[in-house]
Structure 1
Amino acid sequence: MARAWEADPSALFDRRLGKSAEELGNSDGNDECPDIWQLDNGDVAVIGRDLTAVYGSRLPRA
């Protein structure tokens, strides 16, 4: 069975969704804080620790 959606690694960052960790005062000045971006193809990228394996089994059925 084919997947209905695949991430496009060539998509570019378009705009940040919400405030940056620095703007919220939650950054120690490095680039290791989580972030959420809308990509130029409409997808959303969440930058942070990968917990897919932990949360995958908890996702609600579609």
Structure 2
Amino acid sequence: MGVALHRAGAYTHLMNEEDKENLKWLHIFNKYDLYSKSKVRVDIEEVKPYYLSLIEKYFPAKLRW
């Protein structure tokens, strides 16, 4: 969704006011996105443990919606 949202404006009809306010931060931080700016293809299996450790650290085992 990220690429379609900030490049093409897709899905804006689904956004609430908080989402719209946070969108400005997406535009600001987008220039620091090293994965999409790199010509080197990311090996998902190589970075997967890192992201799983972040999920384990910052998300509870059981989410309540």
Point out the structure with the larger helix share: 2
- TM bucket normalised to smaller: under 0.3
Point out the structure with the larger strand share: 1
